[in-house]
Amino acid sequence: MNILITGGAGFIGSHVIRRFVNKYPHYQIVNFDKLTYAGNLSNLKDIDEKANYTFVKGDICSIEDVSNAFKEHQITHVIHLAAESHVDRSIENPLEFAMTNVIGTLNLLSVAKSFWKDGKDHVFHHVSTDEVYGSLNETDLFKETTAYDPRSPYSASKASSDHFVKAFFHTYDFPIKMSNCSNNYGSHHFPEKLIPLMINNILNMQALPIYGKGENIRDWLWVEDHASAIDAIFHNGTLGETYNVGGLNEWTNIDLVNFLCRLMDEKLNREPGTSASLITYIKDRAGHDMRYAIDATKLETELGWKPSIQFEEGLSKTVDWYLENQNWVKDITSGSYQEYYKKMYS
Protein backbone atom coordinates (compact mmCIF):
# COMPACT_ATOMS: atom_id res chain seq x y z
CA MET A 1 0.00 0.00 0.00
CA ASN A 2 1.07 3.56 -0.75
CA ILE A 3 -1.18 5.57 1.58
CA LEU A 4 -1.67 9.32 1.25
CA ILE A 5 -2.64 10.74 4.65
CA THR A 6 -3.81 14.33 4.31
CA GLY A 7 -3.37 16.71 7.22
CA GLY A 8 -0.75 14.41 8.68
CA ALA A 9 1.19 17.20 10.39
CA GLY A 10 -1.86 18.18 12.42
CA PHE A 11 -3.23 16.92 15.71
CA ILE A 12 -5.18 13.79 14.77
CA GLY A 13 -3.23 13.21 11.56
CA SER A 14 0.12 12.98 13.31
CA HIS A 15 -1.20 10.28 15.64
CA VAL A 16 -2.61 8.32 12.69
CA ILE A 17 0.65 8.59 10.76
CA ARG A 18 2.75 7.53 13.75
CA ARG A 19 0.52 4.49 14.27
CA PHE A 20 0.62 3.42 10.61
CA VAL A 21 4.35 4.03 10.12
CA ASN A 22 5.28 2.04 13.22
CA LYS A 23 2.66 -0.71 12.94
CA TYR A 24 2.87 -1.33 9.19
CA PRO A 25 6.52 -1.04 8.07
CA HIS A 26 5.61 -2.67 4.74
CA TYR A 27 3.29 0.25 3.88
CA GLN A 28 4.59 3.47 2.35
CA ILE A 29 3.05 6.41 4.23
CA VAL A 30 2.94 9.79 2.51
CA ASN A 31 2.14 12.76 4.74
CA PHE A 32 0.45 15.41 2.56
CA ASP A 33 0.08 18.68 4.46
CA LYS A 34 -0.05 22.39 3.66
CA LEU A 35 1.57 23.29 7.01
CA THR A 36 -0.98 25.87 8.07
CA TYR A 37 -0.86 27.30 11.60
CA ALA A 38 -2.16 23.98 12.98
CA GLY A 39 0.31 21.78 11.09
CA ASN A 40 3.67 21.15 12.67
CA LEU A 41 6.27 18.64 11.46
CA SER A 42 7.85 18.52 14.91
CA ASN A 43 4.77 16.45 15.84
CA LEU A 44 6.43 13.63 13.87
CA LYS A 45 10.11 14.12 14.63
CA ASP A 46 10.24 10.68 16.24
CA ILE A 47 9.42 8.94 12.93
CA ASP A 48 10.61 11.35 10.25
CA GLU A 49 13.69 9.23 9.49
CA LYS A 50 11.72 6.01 8.98
CA ALA A 51 12.20 4.41 5.57
CA ASN A 52 8.46 4.04 4.99
CA TYR A 53 7.61 7.69 5.72
CA THR A 54 7.64 10.65 3.30
CA PHE A 55 6.49 14.22 3.75
CA VAL A 56 5.02 16.16 0.82
CA LYS A 57 4.10 19.82 1.25
CA GLY A 58 0.90 20.36 -0.69
CA ASP A 59 -2.54 21.93 -0.69
CA ILE A 60 -5.65 19.80 -1.20
CA CYS A 61 -7.24 22.83 -2.87
CA SER A 62 -4.67 22.51 -5.66
CA ILE A 63 -5.47 19.85 -8.25
CA GLU A 64 -1.86 20.09 -9.42
CA ASP A 65 -0.45 19.42 -5.94
CA VAL A 66 -2.74 16.44 -5.40
CA SER A 67 -2.14 14.99 -8.89
CA ASN A 68 1.63 15.31 -8.52
CA ALA A 69 1.54 13.46 -5.20
CA PHE A 70 -0.57 10.65 -6.66
CA LYS A 71 1.70 10.35 -9.69
CA GLU A 72 5.06 10.56 -7.90
CA HIS A 73 4.15 8.19 -5.06
CA GLN A 74 1.75 5.88 -6.92
CA ILE A 75 -0.93 6.39 -4.29
CA THR A 76 -3.19 3.36 -3.78
CA HIS A 77 -5.12 4.47 -0.69
CA VAL A 78 -6.16 7.71 1.03
CA ILE A 79 -6.95 8.61 4.63
CA HIS A 80 -8.35 12.12 4.43
CA LEU A 81 -7.97 14.18 7.61
CA ALA A 82 -6.99 17.61 6.25
CA ALA A 83 -9.59 20.21 7.24
CA GLU A 84 -10.20 23.58 8.76
CA SER A 85 -11.81 22.57 12.04
CA HIS A 86 -12.14 25.42 14.52
CA VAL A 87 -15.77 26.57 14.81
CA ASP A 88 -14.88 30.09 15.95
CA ARG A 89 -12.68 30.60 12.90
CA SER A 90 -15.45 29.29 10.63
CA ILE A 91 -17.81 31.96 11.95
CA GLU A 92 -15.26 34.63 11.04
CA ASN A 93 -14.33 33.18 7.63
CA PRO A 94 -16.81 30.61 6.27
CA LEU A 95 -15.44 30.84 2.72
CA GLU A 96 -12.06 29.49 3.80
CA PHE A 97 -13.81 26.49 5.36
CA ALA A 98 -15.86 25.87 2.22
CA MET A 99 -12.73 25.97 0.06
CA THR A 100 -10.65 23.59 2.18
CA ASN A 101 -13.29 21.22 3.46
CA VAL A 102 -15.55 21.03 0.41
CA ILE A 103 -13.46 21.88 -2.66
CA GLY A 104 -10.36 20.26 -1.18
CA THR A 105 -12.23 17.02 -0.56
CA LEU A 106 -13.75 17.11 -4.03
CA ASN A 107 -10.29 17.59 -5.54
CA LEU A 108 -9.00 14.52 -3.70
CA LEU A 109 -11.97 12.44 -4.78
CA SER A 110 -11.64 13.52 -8.40
CA VAL A 111 -7.90 12.87 -8.61
CA ALA A 112 -8.20 9.48 -6.88
CA LYS A 113 -11.02 8.51 -9.22
CA SER A 114 -8.92 9.42 -12.28
CA PHE A 115 -5.90 7.43 -11.04
CA TRP A 116 -7.65 4.34 -9.69
CA LYS A 117 -8.70 2.62 -12.91
CA ASP A 118 -6.53 -0.50 -12.62
CA GLY A 119 -9.20 -2.76 -11.12
CA LYS A 120 -7.17 -3.23 -7.94
CA ASP A 121 -8.35 -2.74 -4.38
CA HIS A 122 -8.34 0.88 -3.20
CA VAL A 123 -9.79 2.72 -0.20
CA PHE A 124 -10.62 6.39 0.32
CA HIS A 125 -11.27 6.82 4.06
CA HIS A 126 -12.88 10.18 4.78
CA VAL A 127 -12.65 11.34 8.41
CA SER A 128 -15.46 13.63 9.55
CA THR A 129 -17.13 14.96 12.69
CA ASP A 130 -20.22 14.37 14.80
CA GLU A 131 -21.03 18.08 14.44
CA VAL A 132 -22.70 17.38 11.08
CA TYR A 133 -25.62 15.86 13.02
CA GLY A 134 -26.51 19.10 14.81
CA SER A 135 -27.57 19.33 18.46
CA LEU A 136 -29.02 16.56 20.64
CA ASN A 137 -31.61 16.53 23.39
CA GLU A 138 -30.75 15.17 26.83
CA THR A 139 -31.15 11.47 26.04
CA ASP A 140 -30.59 10.66 22.35
CA LEU A 141 -27.35 9.55 20.74
CA PHE A 142 -25.96 10.19 17.27
CA LYS A 143 -26.26 7.08 15.13
CA GLU A 144 -24.97 6.53 11.60
CA THR A 145 -28.56 6.94 10.45
CA THR A 146 -29.13 10.28 12.22
CA ALA A 147 -30.19 13.00 9.78
CA TYR A 148 -27.68 15.74 9.12
CA ASP A 149 -28.50 19.12 10.69
CA PRO A 150 -25.32 21.27 10.71
CA ARG A 151 -25.53 24.54 12.66
CA SER A 152 -22.16 26.27 12.08
CA PRO A 153 -20.18 27.10 8.92
CA TYR A 154 -17.65 24.47 10.01
CA SER A 155 -20.20 21.68 10.39
CA ALA A 156 -21.96 22.76 7.19
CA SER A 157 -18.70 22.48 5.27
CA LYS A 158 -18.00 19.03 6.72
CA ALA A 159 -21.55 17.89 5.99
CA SER A 160 -21.12 18.98 2.38
CA SER A 161 -17.85 17.08 2.07
CA ASP A 162 -19.51 13.98 3.56
CA HIS A 163 -22.26 14.18 0.96
CA PHE A 164 -19.73 14.42 -1.89
CA VAL A 165 -17.90 11.35 -0.55
CA LYS A 166 -21.14 9.36 -0.37
CA ALA A 167 -22.19 10.63 -3.80
CA PHE A 168 -18.96 9.29 -5.33
CA PHE A 169 -19.73 5.88 -3.85
CA HIS A 170 -23.26 5.78 -5.21
CA THR A 171 -22.56 7.46 -8.56
CA TYR A 172 -19.19 5.98 -9.50
CA ASP A 173 -18.95 2.91 -7.26
CA PHE A 174 -15.95 4.66 -5.75
CA PRO A 175 -14.37 2.77 -2.80
CA ILE A 176 -15.11 5.02 0.17
CA LYS A 177 -15.29 4.47 3.90
CA MET A 178 -16.30 7.20 6.31
CA SER A 179 -16.05 7.88 10.03
CA ASN A 180 -17.60 10.61 12.16
CA CYS A 181 -15.91 11.21 15.49
CA SER A 182 -16.60 13.11 18.70
CA ASN A 183 -14.26 15.71 20.25
CA ASN A 184 -10.66 14.50 20.38
CA TYR A 185 -8.16 15.27 23.11
CA GLY A 186 -4.54 14.31 23.74
CA SER A 187 -0.99 15.41 22.97
CA HIS A 188 0.10 17.69 20.10
CA HIS A 189 -3.21 19.60 20.01
CA PHE A 190 -2.98 23.23 18.89
CA PRO A 191 -3.97 25.36 21.90
CA GLU A 192 -7.04 27.04 20.42
CA LYS A 193 -9.35 24.13 21.30
CA LEU A 194 -10.91 23.84 24.76
CA ILE A 195 -8.62 21.41 26.59
CA PRO A 196 -5.18 22.58 25.39
CA LEU A 197 -6.30 26.22 25.68
CA MET A 198 -7.35 25.71 29.29
CA ILE A 199 -4.13 23.85 30.15
CA ASN A 200 -2.02 26.62 28.65
CA ASN A 201 -4.02 29.39 30.33
CA ILE A 202 -4.01 27.68 33.72
CA LEU A 203 -0.26 27.22 33.51
CA ASN A 204 0.20 30.92 32.73
CA MET A 205 -2.47 32.12 35.20
CA GLN A 206 -4.60 33.61 32.43
CA ALA A 207 -8.40 33.83 32.23
CA LEU A 208 -10.30 30.63 31.38
CA PRO A 209 -13.09 31.77 29.01
CA ILE A 210 -16.29 29.70 29.22
CA TYR A 211 -19.10 30.24 26.71
CA GLY A 212 -22.51 30.96 28.24
CA LYS A 213 -23.05 29.02 31.46
CA GLY A 214 -20.70 26.20 30.45
CA GLU A 215 -23.58 23.73 30.27
CA ASN A 216 -22.88 22.52 26.72
CA ILE A 217 -22.10 18.80 26.68
CA ARG A 218 -19.46 17.05 24.59
CA ASP A 219 -18.30 13.45 24.25
CA TRP A 220 -14.50 13.23 24.54
CA LEU A 221 -12.39 10.75 22.57
CA TRP A 222 -8.73 9.97 23.34
CA VAL A 223 -6.86 10.76 20.11
CA GLU A 224 -4.92 7.48 20.19
CA ASP A 225 -8.21 5.60 20.46
CA HIS A 226 -9.41 7.53 17.43
CA ALA A 227 -6.27 6.48 15.54
CA SER A 228 -6.96 2.85 16.42
CA ALA A 229 -10.56 3.22 15.22
CA ILE A 230 -9.36 4.65 11.89
CA ASP A 231 -6.98 1.70 11.62
CA ALA A 232 -9.85 -0.75 12.19
CA ILE A 233 -12.23 0.97 9.74
CA PHE A 234 -9.57 1.42 7.07
CA HIS A 235 -8.61 -2.26 7.13
CA ASN A 236 -11.84 -4.02 8.04
CA GLY A 237 -14.74 -1.63 7.51
CA THR A 238 -17.25 -2.22 4.72
CA LEU A 239 -16.98 -0.11 1.59
CA GLY A 240 -19.67 2.56 1.39
CA GLU A 241 -20.36 2.46 5.14
CA THR A 242 -20.12 5.12 7.83
CA TYR A 243 -18.86 4.37 11.35
CA ASN A 244 -19.36 6.68 14.34
CA VAL A 245 -16.42 6.89 16.76
CA GLY A 246 -17.10 8.08 20.30
CA GLY A 247 -15.29 8.08 23.63
CA LEU A 248 -18.37 7.32 25.80
CA ASN A 249 -17.30 10.28 27.96
CA GLU A 250 -19.94 13.01 28.21
CA TRP A 251 -18.96 16.12 30.17
CA THR A 252 -20.38 19.61 30.43
CA ASN A 253 -17.77 22.21 29.57
CA ILE A 254 -17.83 23.71 33.06
CA ASP A 255 -17.47 20.33 34.80
CA LEU A 256 -14.56 19.47 32.53
CA VAL A 257 -12.80 22.78 33.21
CA ASN A 258 -13.35 22.48 36.96
CA PHE A 259 -11.90 18.96 36.92
CA LEU A 260 -8.95 20.21 34.88
CA CYS A 261 -8.41 23.04 37.37
CA ARG A 262 -8.28 20.61 40.29
CA LEU A 263 -5.95 18.31 38.37
CA MET A 264 -3.52 21.10 37.52
CA ASP A 265 -3.58 22.62 41.00
CA GLU A 266 -2.43 19.23 42.23
CA LYS A 267 0.23 18.77 39.55
CA LEU A 268 1.54 22.34 39.95
CA ASN A 269 1.44 22.25 43.78
CA ARG A 270 -0.96 25.19 43.90
CA GLU A 271 -3.50 25.93 46.58
CA PRO A 272 -6.83 24.20 45.79
CA GLY A 273 -9.12 26.61 43.96
CA THR A 274 -6.29 28.71 42.49
CA SER A 275 -6.93 27.67 38.90
CA ALA A 276 -10.73 27.68 39.23
CA SER A 277 -10.57 31.36 40.24
CA LEU A 278 -9.48 32.09 36.64
CA ILE A 279 -12.81 30.90 35.17
CA THR A 280 -14.51 33.73 33.25
CA TYR A 281 -17.95 33.43 31.67
CA ILE A 282 -18.30 35.11 28.27
CA LYS A 283 -21.11 35.64 25.76
CA ASP A 284 -22.20 32.34 24.22
CA ARG A 285 -20.97 31.46 20.75
CA ALA A 286 -23.40 31.96 17.87
CA GLY A 287 -25.14 28.70 16.91
CA HIS A 288 -23.58 26.86 19.86
CA ASP A 289 -24.96 23.28 19.87
CA MET A 290 -26.03 22.13 23.33
CA ARG A 291 -25.04 18.45 23.29
CA TYR A 292 -23.14 15.91 21.21
CA ALA A 293 -23.00 12.21 22.07
CA ILE A 294 -22.14 9.25 19.85
CA ASP A 295 -23.49 5.73 19.72
CA ALA A 296 -20.47 3.66 18.63
CA THR A 297 -22.33 0.32 18.76
CA LYS A 298 -21.83 -0.37 15.05
CA LEU A 299 -18.07 0.06 15.34
CA GLU A 300 -17.95 -2.18 18.39
CA THR A 301 -20.19 -4.98 17.10
CA GLU A 302 -18.84 -5.10 13.53
CA LEU A 303 -15.15 -4.35 14.09
CA GLY A 304 -14.59 -5.04 17.79
CA TRP A 305 -13.39 -1.52 18.66
CA LYS A 306 -13.77 0.02 22.10
CA PRO A 307 -12.17 3.03 23.81
CA SER A 308 -9.08 1.92 25.73
CA ILE A 309 -8.94 4.63 28.37
CA GLN A 310 -11.19 6.50 30.80
CA PHE A 311 -11.36 10.26 30.40
CA GLU A 312 -9.85 11.09 33.79
CA GLU A 313 -6.76 8.99 33.06
CA GLY A 314 -6.45 10.30 29.52
CA LEU A 315 -6.77 13.90 30.69
CA SER A 316 -4.08 13.38 33.32
CA LYS A 317 -1.74 12.01 30.64
CA THR A 318 -2.60 14.93 28.38
CA VAL A 319 -1.78 17.48 31.10
CA ASP A 320 1.52 15.71 31.82
CA TRP A 321 2.48 15.86 28.14
CA TYR A 322 1.83 19.61 27.92
CA LEU A 323 3.72 20.31 31.14
CA GLU A 324 6.68 18.26 29.86
CA ASN A 325 6.63 19.84 26.39
CA GLN A 326 6.41 23.55 27.00
CA ASN A 327 8.96 24.27 24.26
CA TRP A 328 6.54 22.70 21.75
CA VAL A 329 3.73 24.91 23.03
CA LYS A 330 5.88 28.05 22.87
CA ASP A 331 7.07 27.26 19.34
CA ILE A 332 3.63 26.51 17.94
CA THR A 333 2.06 29.59 19.51
CA SER A 334 4.88 31.97 18.61
CA GLY A 335 4.72 31.30 14.89
CA SER A 336 8.47 30.75 14.64
CA TYR A 337 8.09 27.24 13.30
CA GLN A 338 5.83 28.46 10.48
CA GLU A 339 8.52 30.81 9.21
CA TYR A 340 11.06 28.01 9.44
CA TYR A 341 9.02 25.59 7.35
CA LYS A 342 8.08 28.28 4.86
CA LYS A 343 11.80 28.73 4.18
CA MET A 344 12.40 24.97 4.02
CA TYR A 345 9.51 24.04 1.74
CA SER A 346 8.76 27.19 -0.25
59 is catalytic: no
Q: Average of pLDDT values for 300-328?
A: 94
How far lies 104's CA from each of 17, 101, 170, 239, in Å?
A: 20, 6, 20, 22
The catalytic residue among 59, 84, 144, 154 is 154
State residue 88's pLDDT score: 84
CA distance 122 to 239: 10
Listed in sequence order, the residues at least 6 apart from 237 whose beta carbon sits closer than 8 Å to its beta carbon are: 125, 177, 243, 302, 303
- Decide if pLDDT at 119 tops 80: no
Q: Is the pLDDT of residue 345 over 80?
A: no
pTM recorded for the entire structure: 0.93
334 — pLDDT class (breaks 50, 70, 90): confident
2-185+222-248+290-311: CATH topology is Rossmann fold (3.40.50)
Whether 225 contacts 308, CB under 8 Å = yes
Percentage of the chain with pLDDT > 90? 83
Above 50 in pLDDT, residue 102? yes
pLDDT at 290: 86
- Let me know if 73 is exposed, middle or buried by CB neighbors in 10 A (0-12, 13-18, 19+): middle
Residues 84, 131, 162, 224: which is the catalytic one? 131
* Predicted pLDDT of residue 340: 45
Q: What is the mean pLDDT of residues 116-120?
A: 86
Report pLDDT for 160: 98
Note the pLDDT tens digit of each residue in 180-201: 999 999 999 988 889 999 999 9
Mean pLDDT, residues 59-71 = 98
Closest CA to 218 of 201, 190, 195, 196: 195
* pLDDT on residue 335: 62
On whether the CB atoms of residues 77 and 116 are closer than 8 A, the answer is no
pLDDT-derived band of residue 337, with 50, 70 and 90 as boundaries?
A: very low
Annotated active-site residue 154? The verdict is yes
Q: Please provide residue 123's backbone torsions phi and psi, each rounded to the nearest 5 degrees.
A: -140, 135
Confidence band (pLDDT; 50, 70, 90) for 173?
A: very high
Question: Does pLDDT of 344 surpass 80?
Answer: no
**What pLDDT score does 45 carry?**
94
* Region 1-12 average pLDDT: 97
Which residue did the predictor score with more confidence, 346 or 258? 258
Mean pLDDT of all residues in the chain? 93
Query: How confident is the model over 223-243, as a mean pLDDT?
Result: 98
In terms of pLDDT, which residue wins out, 85 or 143?
A: 143
Q: Is 37 a catalytic residue?
A: no
| pLDDT at residue 339 greater than cutoff 70 | no
CA 215 to mean position of chain CA atoms: 23
Candidates 21, 16, 27; CA nearest to 80 is 16
Q: Using an 8 Å Cβ cutoff, are 221 and 189 in contact?
A: no
Closest CA relative to residue 196, chosen from 14, 319, 332: 319
Mean pLDDT of 145-157: 95
Helices (DSSP H) in 103-249: which residue ranges?
104-115, 153-172, 194-203, 223-236
The active-site residue, picked from 130, 144, 162, 219, is 130
> pLDDT per residue over 203-217, tens digit each?
999 999 999 999 999
The yes-or-no verdict on residue 294 having pLDDT over 50 is yes
| Domain spans, the chain | 2-185+222-248+290-311
More confidently predicted of 249 and 123: 123
pLDDT of residue 343: 53
- Output the pLDDT for position 330: 84
pLDDT for 8: 97
